[in-house]
Amino acid sequence: MSDSALPPLAPGTSPLPGYEVLAHLTRTGWLDLYDAWSKERACRCVIKAVRPDRRGEQRLRERLLREGRWLRDFTHPHLVRAYETVESPEPLVVLETLTGETLSHLLDRLRRRPAAADVALLGVQLCSAVHYLHGQGLLHLDLKPSNVVVDCGHAKVLDLSVARPPGPAPAGVGTFCYLAPEQARGGPLTAAADVWGIGITLFETACGGLPFEGAESGDDEPCDGTGRDDDGAGAGGPAERYPQLERSAPPVTSRRRLPPALAAAVDGCLRADASSRPTVAELAAALEATLPSRA
Angle at 78 between CA 39 and CA 131, to 5 degrees: 135
Asked if residue 51 belongs to a domain, the reply is: yes
- 128 with 22, same domain? no
pLDDT over 80 at 48, yes or no? yes
Domain end point (choices 62, 96, 130): 96
- Which of residues 96, 116, 133 is at a domain's end? 96
Nearest to 142 by CA among 125, 160, 165, 167: 160
Question: Is residue 294 domain-resident?
Answer: no
Number of helices (H), then strands (E), belonging to the chain: the values are 8, 10
Tell whether 161 and 198 lie within a shared domain.
yes
Mean pLDDT across the chain: 89
pTM for the structure as a whole: 0.89
CATH number (domain holding residue 252): 1.10.510.10
Kindly state whether residues 116 and 261 are assigned to the same domain: yes
Each residue of 75-108: pLDDT tens digit?
999 999 999 999 888 899 999 999 999 999 999 9
Nearest to 274 by CA among 205, 214, 194: 194
Q: Is 148 left (phi over 0), alpha (psi -120 to 50) or beta?
A: beta
Is-contact 249 211, C-beta < 8 A?
yes
Same domain, 83 and 122: no
d(CA 74, CA 60): 21
Helix 191-207, helix 260-269: angle, nearest 10? 130
Do the domain assignments include residue 295?
Answer: no
- Partnered with residue 44 across adjacent β-strands are 37
Contact between residue 263 and residue 253 where contact means Cβ atoms under 8 Å apart = yes
- For residue 132, the surrounding DSSP H or E stretch is helix 116-135
Domain count, the chain: 2
* Residue 201 domain flag: yes
Mapped onto helix, strand or coil, the DSSP state of residue 36 is strand
Q: Residues 142, 77: one domain?
A: no
The last residue of one of the domains, among 37, 62, 96, is 96
Structure-model confidence comparison of residues 201 and 176, the more confident one: 201
DSSP character for 197? H
Q: What is the pLDDT of residues 250-294, one digit of tens each?
A: 999 999 999 999 999 999 999 999 999 999 999 999 999 999 875
**One-letter amino acid of 195:** V
In 3D, which of 148, 62, 49 has the Cα closest to residue 107?
Answer: 148
Give the CA distances from residue 75 to residues 25, 71, 81, 82, 269, in Å, rounded to whole numbers and listed in that order: 25, 8, 7, 9, 26
pLDDT, position 66? 95
Measured in degrees and rounded to the nearest 5, phi and psi for residue 227 equal 95, 5
Give residue 153's domain range: 101-289
Look at residue 177 and tell me if it is in a domain. yes
